[in-house]
Chain A
Amino acid sequence: MAAAPDLLSVEDLHVRYGSVEVLKGISLKVRRGEIVALIGANGAGKSTALMAISGIVPASKGSIRFSGREIRSLPSEQRVSLGITQVPEGRRLFPRMTVKENLLIGATLRTDRSEIEKDLAWVLKLFPVLKKRSLQLAGTLSGGEQQMLALARGLMAKPTLLLLDEPSLGLAPKLIGEVFSLIRKIHEMGITLLLVEQNAYQALQVAQTAYVLETGTIALHGPAERLRQDPSVKRAYLGG
């Protein structure tokens, strides 16, 4: 059997919190080797979609397939070991652990000890700011450094698919550029990315495909380049 062309395929995904339906049947596909952006306003359900893919919030209906396999009922740790890792919004580092410990926690489910050591060295080379701080507590890092650590921790899981939730949120403009160039770098390593962003301009620059989420439904989707030109997207998300 040939490998499934879609790495991730979400179909008719519904998520409800109590009586409120946050996702009203969204469908999206992420092809191997792609960067897919999921954009939309605050409260549209972007983070919820990622949390459902990661297995943190249960889907009330629909299917989530990863490499052709239905994962909707798998617990979150099994999804991580299949290759889905999320870098959550707000970074969510372990503040009272060192940078190095945070990185090792990223590799929790891996058993290839010598490879983990190698990846640790590799990640610290990729993020030189972290190298000199590796024994410092994560809570003492600056916002930008924390975002780097969050990305690095995600990479330590050796993901096939990396879910990024608002990686540029709260960062200074200069750092935003840095984060997006790192996203490109991660993509060049062969990692597939699903990127949730409020910074639609940057997201549509870096992605090949994009989905626009509006109050729990996909309002629009297509090649990122086309959405960049779309008048309604321009008006609502690109400020003109």
Chain B
Amino acid sequence: MNLFLQQLLNGLTIGAVYALIALGYTMVYGILQMINFAHGEVFMVGAYFGLSVILAFGLAAPVPGGVAWLVGVICAAAAGCALLGLLIERVAYRPLRKAPKLSVLITAIGVSFFLQNAVMLCWGAQDRYVPELLPVRQMGEGAVAVTPMQVVIFAVSLLLMIGLQWVVHGTKLGRGMRAVAQDPLAARLMGIPVDRVIAVTFAIGSALAGVGGVLFGVYYSTINFHDGYLTGLKAFTAAVLGGIGNLPGAMLGGLLLGLLEALGAGYISAQWKNVVAFAVLILVLLLRPRGLLGERLAERA
């Protein structure tokens, strides 16, 4: 029972990070019907932005007011990734708005390689240690170990997901985003600045991935320029699991995938964690291609 609860907790923690990244995949897909395969790299860059900010302030060990510092680091990385997302959209995707989907896909893979190599050149190819900002200790006396970091990861992710729901359903910007997703031509006819809405969507999705990157770094304590690939693919799996294009689906998919992975790691073996994750992807594609909460997939005419 303890193992179960412990893995449940671990799974929800990493699942929250997957969910943050999955949101970016699903937002961009919803609005452009494209899979932004560079998104995992934006997440990875976010982790490195976080590392750089931590080092710049000399935060080498748990410090007093660690949570406040962490929030500051998160904000900085989110801002940096938002800018990066804007840049990628402007330079790599916007010129291809009318190009065949395959060209866009290949471009996305190109951007992904570019970012990996840029990070390798700037920060080095070896694993980088990310200092712990919060004390590593068990909270409470229970049988299950909850660390302060897990609490922060969960709280930050939850707040951001609620915030995103509010933006999408409660603001004019969100209304514009949904309009562009449902009918881009009609959106233009109504005077919605479609290019700007798309750019903002990239910025928001990238910022969330950046937050995910920082949380990932401080949780696992080491980061590598390769990290975006695997984690990005898993977050994509989460988005597909929940139903690509559907925001609550991405959140649910992320949490579920984290859970399944952690349970697989706990009950089978840690080496099987990735097998579980990608078996989920294959099963979803076979059994329910539109995902748990997705609408029926139909190519738009």
A interface residues (Cβ-Cβ under 8 A, vs B): 54, 56, 75-77, 80-81, 85-86, 88, 92-97, 101, 104-106, 108-109, 153, 157
Contacts and interface: CB of A to CB of B under 8 A. Distances in A.
B137 interface: no
Contacts of A88: 185-186, 189
Interface in B163-215: 172, 175-176, 178-179, 182-183, 185-193
Contacts of A75: 193
Nearest to A104: B175
A56 B185 contact: yes
Report the contact-size class of chain B (Cβ under 8 Å from the partner). 10 to 19
Nearest to B193: A77
Contact of A56 (B183, B188, B193): B188
Interface string B21-57: 0000000000000000000000000000000000000
Contacts of B192: 77, 105, 108
Interface of B is mostly: helix
A97 B193 contact: no
B190 A108 contact: yes
18 contacts: A56-B185, A56-B189, A76-B188, A77-B191, A77-B192, A77-B193, A80-B189, A81-B191, A85-B190, A86-B189, A88-B185, A92-B183, A92-B189, A94-B179, A96-B182, A97-B182, A105-B176, A108-B191
A94 B193 contact: no
B172 to A, nearest CB: 7
B191 A109 contact: yes
A106 B176 CA distance: 11
B226 to A, nearest CB: 39
A101 B175 contact: yes
Most chain A beta carbons < 10 A, residue from B176, B178, B191? B191
A113 to B, nearest CB: 10
B182 A105 contact: no
Given A88-B185, A105-B176, 12 more contacts: A56-B185, A76-B188, A76-B189, A80-B190, A86-B189, A93-B186, A94-B182, A105-B179, A105-B187, A108-B172, A108-B191, A108-B192
Nearest to A86: B189
Contacts of B183: 92-94
